[in-house]
Amino acid sequence: MTRPDLSKATAPVPADGRPVLEVDDLHVEFRTRSGVVHAVNGVSYSLTQGETLAILGESGSGKSVSAQAIMGILDSPPAVITGGGIWFEGTDLLTQPEEEQRKVRGPGISMIFQDALSSLNPVYSVGFQIGEMFRAHRGMSKKDARKRAIELMDRVRIPAAARRVDDFPHQFSGGMRQRVMIAMAIALDPRILIADEPTTALDVTVQAQVMDLLKDLQAETGMGLILITHDLGVVNEVADNVAVMYAGEIVERGTVDDVFTRPAHPYTDGLMSSVPQVEAKGGRLQPIVGQPPNLARIPSGCPFHPRCSRRRLGAEAAPGRECSTDVPPLRLVVPGREAACHYSEEVLGVRAQ
Amino acid sequence: MTDQQQADLLHDEVEAGTTTGLASPSVDVTKERQNSLWSDAWGHLKRNPLFWIGAVLGLVFLLMAIVPQVFARGADPRACNLSNSQQKPSAEHWFGFDQQGCDYLANVVYGARNSLIIGLLAVLVILVLGLLVGAVTGFYGGLLDSLLSRLTDIFYAVPFILGAIVVLRSGFLGRGVAAVAVALAIFGWMTAMRLVRSQVIAVKSSDYVAAARAMGASNGRILIRHILPNAVAPVLVYTTITIGVLIAAEATLTYLGVGLQRPAISWGLQISAGQSLLRTSPHLVLFPSIILTLTVMAFIMMGDALRDALDPRQRA
């Protein structure tokens, strides 16, 4: 988008390349009547200004829960953050009082959700809800807030914003609703935007428009973007780096190009081979066999081992690398690439050091 | 850069054709203020004839309750002359006379006060009890919710009118206006409580509350902006309709002989007294019944209109 950011100067970019957000060994569990569900088990990642990090994983892999932990919107009980830290611009949010955390949300970190219709309050016009950001955080008057809401709706390319500002959420199409959500989320120029499956509920053409919009907004403001999705195509298009999650852990991390072309973890490998290819017309897809693990009973050792085609059990395993008993740590496999597999080198096809 | 400069820059770009946004810039503030839920609802309510009919009727009955002298055409409801007993309506005495020879128009008009006081008082108690118990159980949940919800179920098990009859017959509260109102409220608050509770639970866990929290809204703001408007609207509608139902229930109780007692003036008492004379003087039942029906209707119509206005999804 060639139009400059009209609302205000973009957030200052830190001179050093230090991460804006660092998630450090985050643990989240849900204490339910039927047992403890370990949703997030030691997830770490960081995000710098202007970076797009995709968090990829199937349903129940803990990708949304870790984002909700960052935003402080976990329902607790039953959810409990049992360990780790969430560092935003040098302070650990988890040790801050609730009031301080609240001040970060909105201006610091913001979030958009999968279902825009249910994420908008049905009884208020969209303009009022966007304006609410300015009234709540900046103490703006109703008149100014309305003006800014129209500007923002323009900025997220909602046609005829001035006429539609008083319409209600149910009067918008799915794509337009998601734009309204995005307008609310970027209203205060957050340093980081978390997009939790922003395009899952939309059809393919609208998906592309919304992703383009997010990319353009990111280019304008330099915000960091965490994209939570299970859509490999979207990740490939917009993300710089990708973290693949399985059973509440990150199993592989690297740049999108690297990870997608040469996976270092059998799970990522399986994901890639389950994508339909135009060239392979007529052939059979190779799905990952089995079911995602029950997070209340995560398999011992490598959580992926019951479904893994490359697992080595008993005598055929190297010492200390038995897949069903030894937990593989997330380790550097080749420069710029980390994977949590005992046999990543084999998956990757390189010789172990 | 000032706002004006930015606007100019945008304008230049559009003229030059260098902007590529899908939407043409349309920043023009057509209205001074942003609409809130209530101003929107009012704007919608204003255009609803149902609301106006209800409001005008309600206002008439309210005035009747406050200054009955004006409506009674100068007649005193207690100045009776037995020689006028059961006279038919005439140009001089619009509603005729009752068995005791009292002006019936004055009696019916003076009856509005008790009916309205009982209706409004009972609904106030219902609203307070319903909101309080409903909000507490919905918001905190857990053991407190279980206890209070079971308590509500116990009250539900007692039929509304039967419960009120038992309370009034027991004599704890006496038989005055306040006693009848409280007796009706005690057995009528549960639906309001359930409405509030279910709304609070639904809204509390809704995505837009999560979204508001994710964007840094405080608890107070969430309560005021999200939970209350969504929870109050149905209850407000319910209570408006309930005023009518309560006024009818008061008449029922009085008719059954457990509500107000003479010498109090009430529509229930008049209908009750008139029924034995229905064959000879049907107007004694007809007039209080019509007025009672109109009052009940006025509140139900307002409630209906309010429901339409408070739910943006119902609007065309």
How many H helices and E strands in chain A?
11, 12
Which ipTM value was assigned to this complex? 0.73
C-alpha to C-alpha distance for B31 and A147, rounded to whole angstroms: 10
Residues forming a β-bridge with A43 = A26
SS3 state of residue A194: strand
C-alpha to C-alpha distance for B207 and A177, rounded to whole angstroms: 14
Contact between B14 and B23 under an 8 Å Cβ cutoff? The reply is: no
Q: Enumerate the residues of chain B whose CB falls inside 8 A of the CB of residue A127.
A: 34
CB contact under 8 A, B33 and A143: yes
C-alpha to C-alpha distance for A107 and A135, rounded to whole angstroms: 13
Work out the angle at residue B70's Cα, subtended by the Cα atoms of residues B69 and B71, and round it to the nearest 5 degrees. 95
Residues forming a β-bridge with A35 = A32
C-alpha to C-alpha distance for A31 and A39, rounded to whole angstroms: 10
Contact between B289 and B272 under an 8 Å Cβ cutoff? The reply is: no
Q: Name the burial class of residue B84, with classes exposed (0-12), middle (13-18) and buried (19+) by CB atoms within 10 angstroms of its CB.
A: middle
Half-sphere exposure of A40 (CA within 13 A, CB side): 27
Residue-range domains of chain B with CATH: 111-263+299-316 (1.10.3720.10)
B145-176 as b/e: b if 16+ CB within 10 A: beebeeebeeeeeeebbebbbebbeeeeeebe
Average pLDDT over residues B278-302: 87
**Mean pLDDT (10-residue bins), chain A, 353 residues:** 42 58 89 86 88 88 87 81 86 84 85 85 87 86 89 87 86 87 88 87 82 88 89 87 91 90 89 80 79 85 87 80 86 87 80 50
Decide if pLDDT at B56 tops 90. yes
* Chain A: closest CA distance from residue B233 (Å): 10
Selecting from B10, B23, B230 the residue whose C-beta is nearest the C-beta of A123 gives: B230
Average pLDDT over residues B26-36: 46
SS3 state of residue B254: helix
Chains A–B, number of C-beta pairs less than 8 Å apart: 142
Nearest CA in chain A to B22: A157
Contact between A201 and A116 under an 8 Å Cβ cutoff? The reply is: yes
Per-residue pLDDT of A95-104, as tens digits, reads 888 888 888 8
Per-residue pLDDT of B105-159, as tens digits, reads 888 888 888 888 888 899 999 988 888 888 888 877 788 889 999 999 998 888 8
What DSSP element (H or E) covers A56? strand A52-56
Q: Enumerate the residues of chain B whose CB falls inside 8 A of the CB of residue A103.
A: 216
Q: Which of B190, B299, B294 has the alpha carbon at shortest distance from B244?
A: B299
Token couple for B316: 């065309």
